[in-house]
């Protein structure tokens, strides 16, 4: 059947109404917008490590205090996720992302004039952090709504924007700093991030409404069979007024022309037009934020997975350059290591999207395997020595990071977690829970580095968090099965209670149907004779 589209008015914008998920169309434009938004949000956050040593020298601060810049930024980004969900449901994804782009750019531009690390906490940490939240989460949410069968693959490929950004931004910013200094380089990055606002204007809202199927009329039954069914349903005589069946011998009611339909007196009594009964009922009001997902045990386990796994997402990209410098590797070669990690992450995201689209096993199990292998990658860093040792570890880590980072939020739309209907609210709550790890992760790694005087401790802390995340991820599917089994038992118990309370059906005389058919035939003959 051909998919129909018609425009309806939404708050501050217009939306396209589809009878089914388009799985393409304007969704490709949304995917491109998500690619650019990823590059200008998470791509910049992961490339911020190139400013690390410059900020330490300019402000005369320690690793831990400089780490708080990104830590506060990630915390604000994730902590305000429910606010992003509420604003998106109220004003639409388009306006929210455009406003987020303005905040991101303003925070980065103002930070280029900062005179202390505290100013960085406010500008990049709070202002840009809020902008990152308003930009990223609505974009990935609306992209998931445009695709169904190809959702995993499209989301994974579009999320490679941050990888290409790290690959290109890290060497470019490093070279730019040599020419104009870190302040003007940061200013240029802030101006570039205005592109998020342009991408936000491309996010056309989408509404899915199932088309009512016209049921084929069953073949006509014989008169006797029809009378028997009517008597069984009404448990009364066909001449009784309560049965609601009007039987005449007029040609309009002769079997083979049309079926006898019950009369409905209610519209006439209330002065309503019978055509009103066929009108489409009003759509249910969308909740701004649905916290009912917190009662789902599978979602709770998945949220704890995100909480601990976040510890391993940002710290390695922040500390890979300082680690390489501590091993005597030059600035240029250190930037190449970070770029190689970004290239490997591209392939990891594409591979994850392809394998999830094939679904050899359940997607939640594929994610679990990737998380376990990512934990191994984090443990391998402290054992690396020299340029090529770090390069191999970075490529392996980048590939495995891509398999997890590009899929953990879209997996919320799967039935094993919450499903596509509740993904918008679930994503807000999920990212909100991640905020604690985003706040504590980089500073915790910084404190360990300052205490042990060894960058290896930062990677060990990330590996420990990832292992805990794998444990909770392994519990998602069992919790979902247990919850479904519990609901099924409750429904069975409720059905048994209803059957026990309901009395047995009234007994009818054996000749009840025959008597009614005889009366009907006699009345029909009488009317014909008249």
Cβ count within 10 A of residue 369: 14
Residue among 355, 313, 400, 363 at smallest CA distance from 476: 363
Task: Quote the DSSP letter at residue 261.
Answer: -
Q: Is residue 1 scored above 50 in pLDDT?
A: no
Percent pLDDT > 70 in the chain is 71
Residue count of the chain: 530
| Helix (H), strand (E), coil (C) string for 87-113 | HHHHHCHHHHHHHHHHHHHHHHHHHCC
**Within 13 Å of residue 519, how many CA atoms lie on the same side as its CB?**
12
Residues 227, 233, 238, 240: what is their CA dihedral angle, to the nearest 10 degrees?
180
Residue 48 lies in a domain: yes
Residue 336 lies in a domain: yes
Number of domains comprising the chain: 2
Residue 267 lies in a domain: no
Answer with the residue of higher pLDDT: 77 or 248: 77
Cα distances from 357 to residues 353, 366, 419, in angstroms, run 6, 11, 16
Q: Is residue 276 scored above 50 in pLDDT?
A: no
Residue 451 lies in a domain: yes
Specify the pLDDT at position 355: 84
- The CATH code of the domain that includes 405 is 1.20.1250.20
**Within 13 Å of residue 50, how many CA atoms lie on the same side as its CB?**
33
Q: Is residue 2 scored above 50 in pLDDT?
A: no
Angle at 338 between CA 334 and CA 342, to 5 degrees: 160
Task: Assess whether 312 and 199 both reside in one domain.
Answer: no
Residue among 120, 261, 280 at smallest CA distance from 210: 280
User: Which pLDDT band, with edges at 50, 70 and 90, does 101 fall under?
Assistant: very high
Point out the least confidently predicted range of 102-116, 134-148, 168-182, 330-344.
330-344
Task: Assess whether 60 and 202 both reside in one domain.
Answer: yes
Cβ–Cβ < 8 Å for 395, 344: yes
Domain finish residue from 210, 227, 246: 210
Task: Assess whether 195 and 303 both reside in one domain.
Answer: no
Residue whose entry in the numeric block shows the structure tokens 């069953």: 218
Structure tokens at 245: 């069946």
Specify the pLDDT at position 522: 54
User: Which pLDDT band, with edges at 50, 70 and 90, does 263 fall under?
Assistant: very low
Mean of all residue pLDDT scores within the chain: 75
Task: Assess whether 311 and 403 both reside in one domain.
Answer: yes
Specify the pLDDT at position 483: 59
Cβ count within 10 A of residue 240: 12
Task: Assess whether 78 and 172 both reside in one domain.
Answer: yes
Residues 436, 442, 443, 448: what is their CA dihedral angle, to the nearest 10 degrees?
120
Residue among 502, 88, 519, 508 at smallest CA distance from 290: 88
CA distance 411 to 432: 16
Beta bridge partners of 10: 13
Structure tokens at 337: 């290591």
Task: Assess whether 205 and 295 both reside in one domain.
Answer: no
CA distance 357 to 354: 5
Task: Assess whether 191 and 306 both reside in one domain.
Answer: no
Phi and psi at residue 214, in whole multiples of 5°?
-85, 115
Specify the pLDDT at position 290: 66
Answer with the residue of higher pLDDT: 86 or 218: 86
Residue 117 lies in a domain: yes
- The three-class DSSP label of residue 15 is strand
- Burial string for 243-281 (b: 16+ CB within 10 Å, else e) reads bebebeeeeeeeeeeeebeeeeeeeeeeeeeeeeeeeee
Residue 11 lies in a domain: no
pLDDT digits (tens, 9 = 90+) for 453-477: 888 888 888 888 899 999 998 998 8
Structure tokens at 172: 């470019």
Answer with the residue of higher pLDDT: 457 or 397: 397
CA distance 300 to 509: 58
Structure tokens at 313: 């997402």
Cβ count within 10 A of residue 389: 14
Residue whose entry in the numeric block shows the structure tokens 């398999």: 403
Percent pLDDT > 90 in the chain is 16
Positive or negative, the CA dihedral 450, 454, 455, 456 is negative
Cα distances from 65 to residues 69, 127, 190, 193, 442, in angstroms, run 8, 18, 22, 25, 10
Domain finish residue from 162, 191, 210: 210
Specify the pLDDT at position 99: 94
Structure tokens at 90: 């109220």
Residue 271 lies in a domain: no
Residue 236 lies in a domain: no
Domain finish residue from 156, 191, 210: 210
- H/E stretch holding 185: helix 161-192
Task: Assess whether 447 and 331 both reside in one domain.
Answer: yes
Specify the pLDDT at position 503: 55
Task: Assess whether 181 and 325 both reside in one domain.
Answer: no
pLDDT digits (tens, 9 = 90+) for 190-216: 999 999 999 999 888 887 776 654 444
Answer with the residue of higher pLDDT: 455 or 19: 455
Q: Is residue 229 scored above 50 in pLDDT?
A: no
Task: Assess whether 300 and 204 both reside in one domain.
Answer: no
Task: Assess whether 198 and 313 both reside in one domain.
Answer: no
pLDDT digits (tens, 9 = 90+) for 21-54: 777 788 899 999 999 999 999 889 888 878 888 8
What is this structure's pTM?
A: 0.61
Give residue 485's domain range: 289-495
What's the average model confidence in pLDDT over 305-332? 79
pLDDT digits (tens, 9 = 90+) for 114-132: 998 999 999 999 999 999 9
CA distance 396 to 316: 12
CA distance 144 to 135: 15
Answer with the residue of higher pLDDT: 254 or 371: 371
307: left (phi over 0), alpha (psi -120 to 50) or beta: alpha
Cβ–Cβ < 8 Å for 45, 104: no
Cβ–Cβ < 8 Å for 124, 76: no
User: Which pLDDT band, with edges at 50, 70 and 90, does 168 fall under?
Assistant: confident
Cα distances from 248 to residues 367, 383, 430, 523, in angstroms, run 66, 92, 64, 9
Distance of CA 431 to the CA centre of its chain: 10
CA distance 313 to 365: 20
Give me the sheet containing 13-18, strands edge to edge: 5-10, 13-18, 206-208
Answer with the residue of higher pLDDT: 7 or 25: 25
Task: Assess whether 69 and 159 both reside in one domain.
Answer: yes
For residue 73, what are the contacts with CB-CB under 8 A and spacing of at least 6? 45, 124, 125, 128, 129, 132
């Amino acid at each position: 059947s051909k998919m129909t589209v018609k425009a309806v008015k939404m708050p501050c914008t217009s939306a396209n109404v589809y009878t089914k998920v388009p799985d393409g169309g304007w969704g490709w434009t949304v995917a491109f917008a998500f690619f650019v938004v990823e590059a200008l949000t998470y791509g910049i956050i992961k490339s911020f490590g190139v400013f690390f040593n410059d900020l330490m020298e300019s402000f005369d601060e320690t690793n831990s205090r400089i780490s708080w810049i990104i830590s506060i930024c990630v915390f604000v980004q994730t902590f305000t996720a429910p606010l992003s969900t509420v604003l998106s449901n109220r004003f639409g994804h388009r306006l929210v992302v455009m406003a987020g782009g303005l905040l991101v750019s303003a925070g980065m531009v103002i930070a280029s004039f900062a005179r202390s690390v505290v100013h960085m906490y406010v500008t990049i940490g709070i202002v840009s952090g809020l902008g990152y939240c308003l930009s990223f989460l609505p974009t990935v949410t609306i992209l998931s709504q445009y695709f169904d069968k190809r959702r995993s693959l499209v989301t994974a490929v579009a999320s490679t924007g941050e990888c290409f950004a790290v690959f290109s931004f890290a060497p470019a910013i490093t070279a730019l700093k040599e020419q104009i200094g870190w302040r003007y380089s940061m200013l240029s990055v802030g101006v570039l991030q205005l592109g998020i606002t342009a991408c936000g204007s491309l996010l056309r809202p989408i509404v899915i409404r199932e088309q009512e199927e016209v049921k084929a009329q069953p073949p006509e039954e014989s008169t006797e069979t029809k009378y028997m069914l009517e008597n069984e349903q009404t448990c009364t005589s066909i001449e009784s007024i309560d049965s609601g069946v009007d039987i005449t011998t007029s040609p309009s009611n002769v079997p083979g022309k049309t079926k006898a339909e019950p009369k409905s007196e209610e519209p006439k009594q209330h002065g309503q037009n019978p055509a009103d009964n066929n009108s489409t009922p009003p759509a249910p009001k969308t909740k701004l934020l649905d916290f009912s997902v917190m009662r789902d045990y599978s979602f709770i386990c998945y949220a704890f997975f995100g909480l601990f796994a976040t510890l391993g997402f940002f710290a390695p990209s922040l500390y890979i350059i300082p680690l390489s410098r501590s091993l005597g590797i030059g600035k240029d070669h250190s930037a190449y290591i970070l770029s190689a990690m970004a290239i490997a992450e591209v392939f990891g995201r594409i591979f994850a999207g392809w394998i999830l689209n094939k679904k050899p096993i359940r997607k939640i199990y594929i994610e679990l395997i990737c998380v376990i292998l990512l934990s191994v990658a984090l443990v391998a860093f402290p054992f690396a020595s020299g340029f090529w040792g770090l390069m191999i570890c970075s490529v392996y880590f980048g590939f495995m990071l891509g398999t997890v980072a590009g899929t953990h939020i879209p997996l919320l739309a799967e039935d094993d977690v919450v499903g596509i209907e509740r993904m918008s609210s679930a994503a807000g709550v999920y990212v909100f829970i991640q905020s604690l790890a985003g706040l504590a992760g980089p500073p915790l790694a910084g404190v360990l580095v300052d205490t042990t005087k060894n960058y290896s401790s930062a990677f060990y802390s990330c590996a420990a968090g990832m292992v805990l995340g794998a444990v909770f991820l392994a519990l998602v599917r069992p919790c979902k099965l247990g919850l479904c089994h519990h609901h099924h038992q409750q429904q069975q118990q409720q059905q048994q209670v209803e059957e026990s309370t309901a009395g047995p059906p009234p007994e009818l005389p054996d000749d009840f149907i025959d008597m009614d058919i005889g009366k009907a035939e006699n009345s029909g003959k009488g009317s014909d004779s008249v």
